[in-house]
Structure formats: structure tokens, C-alpha cells
Amino acid sequence: MTPAMKIKGSEALIKSLLEEGADTLFGYIGGAIMPVYDALYDYSDRMKHYLMRHEQGAIHATQAYSRVTGKTGVCFATSGPGATNIVTGLADAQLDSTPLICITGQVHSALLGTDAFQEQDMISISMPVTKWNFQITKPEEIGPAIAKAFYVAGSGRPGPVLIDFTKDAQMAELEFSYEKCTGIRSYFPIPKIDHNQAQEAATLINNCQKPLILAGHGTKISGAQQLLLSFAEKTGIPVSNTLLGLSGFPQEHPLYVGMLGMHGNYGPNIKTNDADLLIAIGMRFDDRVTGDLSRYAINAKVIHIDIDKSELSKNVKADIPILADARQALDTLLPLVQERKHDAWLKEFKECQRIENEVVVHNQCYPEGSDPHMGEVARLISEMTHGEAIIVTDVGQHQMITARYYRFAPTSNFITSGGLGTMGFGLPAAFGAAVGAPHKQVIAVIGDGGFQMTIQELGSYFQHKIPVKIILLNNNFLGMVRQWQEMFFNKRYSYTEMINPDFIAIAKGYHIPGRKITDRSDLPAALQELLNEPGTRLLEIVVRKEENVMPMVPAGESVSNIRLT
């Protein structure tokens, strides 16, 4: 506990953040949070602040920073529109289990409820999209609120917290001291594993014939990657990843059978209904993974491991629900399971991969003709970086293509918006990832639609000299929606075609060098040049306009009805 000292509330906030080890901030200044920024001026040697160009950009940068560092990120915004602009990021962080704290300025406490200038009830607005929120109206509340915020955001299933900070509380003085939060009554973030359930699960695992591991984001959050590898190798069970679970299991491993989901690999999707046991670890059976629930895992027993009790049997009934941290659960199960092999079962996945390679992969990654294809771009990036880069994407066709064809090494990371599917995520998120991992190569893969939603963040790159390689895949369409219109709406392309600006000229306006290519023959050299040049660079690749991402499980269909063409 720090000794008491008399300071203003704004400085108490900065000191509280430093006590929690937060030395990096993303934000956008405004009137209601100005006292905090004034206090921050005196701490610039101990705390780095990155001025973004929009509050949404600030929170997406914070999300990615948190996901590459494992720390709880911190974001500042002012009241009113500044605060409401971060709500999308809060919802995104909530669905993707990202620990962060947003501190928003608020009007003077005497004006609360009067519809004062730039007043919004952020406690009510943010309640559905935060793990916890609180409004500070008295300076004495600052230390305890920040301590609790860090504890809640980072413990158990991580998530976002919002602290709303009235202007008078920022300016008032207090006798400040700080004590970290180590527990909250009735909140038990790390459940104790039920060893009887673990033994029951081991019995199923030891006697199954066609098991499949579904490894999600929770395996990465808990740091269970090595245990997952050991568990899979001992049991001989094939492993598939969810979208956010990518990079959590080595993709060159013989037990890895691909990505689950609507645009995932043929094998893990179609074989889900042949499996007699599903072992779901740190994933929530999202509808993009399950398709029609009434026709999902029809022959399988289900072991579901999750730290969040509300996820167990929420979508798919678990025969053995294990409420536990993924690392703790795997550590408990590992000595209980037997060494086994499932060679015949694995051969079925290999045959599925052969079919997918022949029908889909070859055409997407090794196309003919002069038009660049998205799949070829992803394949080349993967080969040139040996799968070791931090890959950040926006949302759309390019996201699914990159997830499918970038071969993530165990030392890499994949940062994308999963549960909310937020267009505009990619550019600011890549900024935050590069801040959090300055010694890693960060590559942003973005579509022309999402790029224009947060394009102003190029100014943040220029001001702060953050080196990211930006690959803009431009098909002059809102590609994913266009694909659905083609497949399910008789090619009625209603308001999905984009008349785009000169992206290279815009980048030049932000002093960021750029290059545009339209011919496949230029692709390898242009990508290699991009990766070799220092600093931030933009490469715009004009790809085939009506390229589709396949395979695809149509919405509401069974995973058994996955389409290859």
C-alpha cells in the first residue's frame, strides 16, 4: 500500500494506473477529461500516450495491445460523443474476452441528469457491453475503483471495464493512497476444477474412437498452448481451431486438421457429425461454428471446458461440463488420459484435405490469369514471413482468406474481431499490436470497405512513427456481403459496389509511402519489397472483383452441408 499524499483526483488516477503497471495509453482528449490529460503532462517520462484520430480507433488499438501483451489495456475518452464512440469497442472486447479499462470523462456531478453539454449516461449505455462499470463522483473513490477495475478486467474470463469520471472529482483534492484489489466478495474468477468430472472426461477420452478437439481463444488467453500440444500428442486426438484460436496450436503439426466455422476447412466441419467425442476447450460454440444446432454433433458426446459458467451448455449441451481455466483443466486431465493413436480417423481428415486442396485451395492460392487473388496473397505472405508475423485483419472476405491460408507458427499471433465482426477494426488494431510488440513484424490485411471506416488512423501512424505493413485487398466491393448476394440473392448486388478513392494518394497525404498493383506478375516482388522496407508502408492490391471465399457453411445449415463450390 502506497503512503498517503494530498493530490488532485486527476493525478490520483495517473498514479493508480502506474501502481497497476499500466504505462501505455491510447486516447483522444476532450473537455470533460482535460484535467486528466493535464496531469498526464507531468508523467510523460513514465507513461506513453498515443493520440489516435477517433475514439473507436483508440479502443481498437487498446484491444490489440492487450491481446499481444497479455496486459490489461487502458483507453481514455471524453464525455458525450467521445464516450459513445467507444461503445463498439467495448462490445467487441466483451465478446472476444479482451481485458481493458476505458476511462471516460463526465460532466460535473452537480449537472448529472440535466442533459448538460456533452452529457450521456454511460453507466446505463455501457452496462450490457462491460464486465463491470462505475462512476466516480468523489475523489476518494478513485483508488478503490481503479484497483477493482484491473482485478475484474483481468481475472477469470477477461473483459472490458468502464470507469466514468466526473470533472469535479478529477479536480478535487484528496489524501491519496493505493492498495491493489486481491478479491471481491461473491466473485470467484478462478473456479476449482471438479476432479470427479475430470475423471469422467478422461474415461470418455480413453474409450472413444473418433474424437476431435475444438480449441478456442481460451487456450491462448490462459497460456495453455504447450499443455494442449502435450495433451493432443499423448491422446493422438486431432485438433481444430476456432477463428480466434488460430496460432494456439502449431499448424504444421500432423494432428492439426484445420479451422472450424462457416469458412473453415472441409474436414473439421464435416467430420464434426462423424465424431463420437468433441472436446471443446475455451470456445463458446458460436453459431458460425455450429450452424444448425439441431443437426450439430449428432453422434458425439461433448466435453466442454470453459472458465465462464454461463457458456457451459448454453448452445450445445455438454455431457461433461468442466468449469475451469483451460490450462488448469488440461494440466489435470493430462496424467489421467492414456497414450493412444487414431490413425484411421486421421486418415479421414487427410482425405478431406485432399479434396479441399483439389477443389478449393489450388484455385484460390495458385490461380490462373492476370488478376491477383486474395488466397495467393495470403499464401505468399505466409511463405515470406515463415508464418511468424503478427497478423491483424479487418472483417470480411480478406479476414477469412487470411485465416485460411496464413500458416501461423507458434511464435505468431492472429488479431481479428471475432464475435462482433467489427469493420474498421484492422487499421487501429494493427497500430496497437505494433505498440505492444515492437520487435515483431506486424502486418495488417484490410479490405477496401473496412479501411475507409477508420482510414484517418493513418495520421496516428505518421505522428507516432509506428511501423506496420498494410496490405489493402481492393475488390471495389463490400466483398462478403456481395458473396452472399451472389449465392443467396440471385446476384442482386444491392449497394455493395464501392467507388473508391485514390488510396495511394491518401496515404501520401499522411506521408506514408504506397504502391498499387493490378497484375499477378508483380505480386511476389511487391510483397517482398513491402516486407523489406522500413517504417509504415501501404500496398494496394486490386484483386479479382467477384472472388468467393470457399468452403462455406450457409447460414442456418448443418455443418454436414458445407459447400466446396
Set 262, 400, 423, 480: catalytic member: 480
By the 8 A CB rule, do 168 and 5 touch? no
Closest by alpha carbon to 429, among 390, 401, 381? Answer: 390
Q: What cell was used for 74?
A: 487502458
d(CA 564, CA 555): 15
**Where do we find the cell 488499438?**
61
Closest by alpha carbon to 80, among 164, 168, 172? Answer: 164
Set 118, 441, 456, 463: catalytic member: 118
d(CA 13, CA 40): 9
Q: What cell was used for 221?
A: 488467453
By the 8 A CB rule, do 433 and 392 touch? yes
Q: What cell was used for 8?
A: 488532485
d(CA 458, CA 392): 15
Set 15, 131, 148, 167: catalytic member: 167
Q: What is the DSSP letter of 24?
A: E
In the chain, the amino acid numbered 161 is: V
423 is catalytic: no
Question: If DSSP states are collapsed to H, E and C, what string results for 457-503?
Answer: HHHHHHHHCCCCEEEEEECCECHHHHHHHHHHCCCCCCCCECCCCCH
By the 8 A CB rule, do 279 and 337 touch? no
d(CA 127, CA 164): 12
452 is catalytic: no
Between strands 173-176 and 5-8, the pairing is antiparallel
Burial of 356 (0-12, 13-18, 19+ CB in 10 A): buried
d(CA 90, CA 18): 23
Distances (CA, A) of 508 to 459, 512, 531, 543: 11, 5, 18, 22
Q: For the chain, give me the number of helices (H) and strands (E)? A: 24, 20
d(CA 179, CA 1): 5
26 is catalytic: no
Between strands 24-27 and 211-215, the pairing is unpaired
Set 5, 117, 199, 545: catalytic member: 117
What are the start-end ranges of the H helices in 334-373?
343-356, 362-365
Q: What cell was used for 472?
A: 489493402
List residues with catalytic annotation.
Answer: 55, 117-118, 167, 480
